[in-house]
Amino acid sequence: MYTKYVLSAILMMGLFSLASAQEKVEPKKAPQSYKPIRINVTEDGSYYLRIITWAQTWATLVENNPGTIGYDLAADNSSANIGIRRARMMFYAQMGPRWLILTHFGINNQTFNSGGYTGGTDGKKPQLYIHDLWTEFSIIPKKLHAGMGLHYWNGVSRSASASTLNFMTLDAPIFNWFTIETNDQFARQLGIYAKGQLNRLDYRLAINQPFQNGVNPYAQTARTTTGFNSDLAAKNAYTSSFAQAGYVKFMFKDIEKNVLPYEIGLCMDGQELFNIGAGFYNHPQSTYTLDPELGSEALKLYNTTILGLDMFYNHAVGKKGYIMNAYMLFQHMDYGKRYLRNVGIFNTSTAIGNAQQLGNAYANRSVMGAGNTQPTMGTGNILYAQFGLRFPTFENGSAFMPYVTGTYKSFEAIEEPSLQYDLGLNYFVNKHNAKVTLQYGTRPVYKYDAFSATGISQNGLKGQFTLQTHFYL
């Protein structure tokens, strides 16, 4: 118990101590400059190797979903965790004016009981694995480039290819990676892509072969009708079909670079960015149901179709050094009938208790799982918005930036829509190269409800404090 109180105090005091430290900074000390790690292979620099490495660590204090139990099998209302959100390294080489190769590897989400080499409840010795590996050839410089491999040139939206180096918020909302760890490899798929810029129009198109996930639908003969997410709802299915993806954006102000696919979340280098984009993703016969409406144990296959429309704005405001940042995304998702997926990032809780363990609290137990799991993606619509204002820098180059996000979710599998929000504060020690973020985030929780058309109803919001340190070179 005392550990949770101590960690809570650390989370709340972390950024306040940094703020007070500003008073001790020498007023005339120049900001530290950052120089990318680049090794020129030829004298003219046309052949070069670029190296990037970064790490994000988290400390969290979670208000658990109702019914969560601990290792002692008693109700566990909150949990405190420390771990590694991301630890990555990237190499890419420009081999003359036309060839590029990129390799990106690392680990994610290592906690004391998850993310380890053996999986399950062992958090030790996580396995390094490839995130990206592709080669690219410039057919018409800037206008048409083609590549192949395990890539991140995703469709649907800007945030589907978000860079993890320069979020404006603590992290991504996760549903932007709409197939994350189902039939992709941490938001990447094997495929062939084309990308380029035609004046102010930036485009990316891809044909991918998603990874096999789920079960063989043709081998399923026994339909489960009990429980909220039974076989009446679509499930992931084995398929060898190819997926098609694309995203285009029109850049009304400054032109963004597209050498790499990683879309910037917050720019602090003086650019004025105003983009509107739209995209799609389609994967045929990727989910299934055993639908009684079609006859006894009848099989029905569904396509996964995701459509996105978004807007991004980033610009200095006034003459004092403020930077305003805003992003809005509308995402339409069709994974098949009543498809719903719950996700809990950095979740160390594993079980919902039974009636004997929970007593009277059993009636309000979470439908969506233990810890901080929540309905994250499914057939339906999501509207997401974020807004932040970076304050003028101190004389040592550091700065603060408060932000707010809001998410509206309407899923076919849940009768009522939900609204959730995040409040956060960034402290930029040296822009994105060194920063600390404190965020309070909310999520909806659900309980069983016999009077609801879908069998569940919302049971309020739960919260989570997260303190992050972020460094990259």
As a three-state string, the secondary structure of the chain is: CHHHHHHHHHHHHHHHHHHHHHHHCCCCCCCCCCCCEEEECCCCCCEEEEEEEEEEEEEEEEECCCCEECCCCCECCEEEEEEEEEEEEEEEEEECCCEEEEEEEEEEEECCCCCCCCCCCCCCCCCCEEEEEEEEEEEECCCEEEEEEEECCCCCCCHHHECCCCCCCCCCCCCCCCCCCCCCCCCCEEEEEEEEEECCEEEEEEEEECCCCCECHHHCCCCCCCCCCCCCCCEEECCCCCEEEEEEEEECCCCCCCCCCCECCCCCCCCCEEEEEEEEEEEEEEEEEEEHHHCCCEEEEEEEEEEEEEEEEEEEECCCCEEEEEEEEEEEEECCCCCEEEECCCCCCCEECCHHHHHHHHHHCCCCCCCCCEEEEECEEEEEEEEEEECCCCCCCCEEEEEEEEEEEEECCCCCCEEEEEEEEEEEEECECEEEEEEEEEEEEEEECCCCCCCEEEEEEEEEEEEEEEEEC
User: Rounded mean pLDDT of 177-205?
Assistant: 98
Are 424 and 173 within 8 A, CB to CB? no
Distance (Å, whole) CA 60 – CA 77: 14
Distance (Å, whole) CA 246 – CA 272: 25
Domains in the chain, ordered, with CATH? 2-21+37-472 (2.40.160.10)
β pairing state of 144-151 and 201-209: unpaired
Q: Is the pTM of this model over 0.85?
A: yes
pLDDT confidence band for 404 (50 / 70 / 90): very high
229 pLDDT above the threshold of 70: no
Lowest mean pLDDT among 151-160, 321-330, 361-370, 431-440: 361-370
User: Rounded mean pLDDT of 261-285?
Assistant: 97
Give the pLDDT confidence score for residue 25 in this predicted structure: 47
User: Rounded mean pLDDT of 219-246?
Assistant: 77
pLDDT confidence band for 449 (50 / 70 / 90): confident
Q: Which two tokens stand for residue 188?
A: 């990447």
Q: For tokens 């009848």, name the residue.
A: 298
228 pLDDT above the threshold of 60: no
Range among 13-22, 27-36, 94-103 rated most confident: 94-103
Distance (Å, whole) CA 411 – CA 234: 13
170 pLDDT above the threshold of 90: yes
pLDDT confidence band for 296 (50 / 70 / 90): low
Give the pLDDT confidence score for residue 215 in this predicted structure: 84
pLDDT confidence band for 227 (50 / 70 / 90): low
Give the pLDDT confidence score for residue 178 in this predicted structure: 98
* More confident of the two residues 8 and 472: 472
User: Rounded mean pLDDT of 242-262?
Assistant: 98
1 pLDDT above the threshold of 90: no
* More confident of the two residues 38 and 293: 38
24 pLDDT above the threshold of 90: no
pLDDT confidence band for 19 (50 / 70 / 90): low
Give the pLDDT confidence score for residue 226 in this predicted structure: 47
Give the pLDDT confidence score for residue 9 in this predicted structure: 58
User: Rounded mean pLDDT of 55-63?
Assistant: 98
119: which residues sit within 8 A by CB, 6+ positions away? none
pLDDT above 90 coverage of the chain, percent? 76
Give the pLDDT confidence score for residue 118 in this predicted structure: 64
Distance (Å, whole) CA 384 – CA 260: 25
* More confident of the two residues 28 and 221: 221
Distance (Å, whole) CA 428 – CA 399: 5
Cα 421 to the chain's mean position, in Å? 16
Give the pLDDT confidence score for residue 217 in this predicted structure: 86
175 pLDDT above the threshold of 80: yes
114: which residues sit within 8 A by CB, 6+ positions away? 120, 121, 123, 347, 348
User: Rounded mean pLDDT of 61-66?
Assistant: 98
User: Rounded mean pLDDT of 321-330?
Assistant: 98
pLDDT confidence band for 26 (50 / 70 / 90): very low
pLDDT above 70 coverage of the chain, percent? 88
* Alpha-carbon distance values, 327 to 139, 228, 258, 313 (Å): 32, 34, 19, 6
Give the pLDDT confidence score for residue 343 in this predicted structure: 96
Give the pLDDT confidence score for residue 70 in this predicted structure: 94
- Exposed / middle / buried, residue 40 (Cβ in 10 Å: 0-12, 13-18, 19+): exposed
107-134 residue pLDDT tens: 999 999 988 876 666 788 999 999 999 9
Distance (Å, whole) CA 404 – CA 421: 7
CA 200, 202, 207: angle at the middle one, nearest 5? Answer: 160
13 pLDDT above the threshold of 70: no
Query: If we measure between CA atoms, which residue out of 178, 134, 185 comes closest to residue 157?
Result: 178
Are 337 and 379 within 8 A, CB to CB? yes
Give the pLDDT confidence score for residue 379 in this predicted structure: 97
Mean predicted lDDT score pLDDT of the chain: 91
Give the pLDDT confidence score for residue 289 in this predicted structure: 87
Distance (Å, whole) CA 358 – CA 73: 9
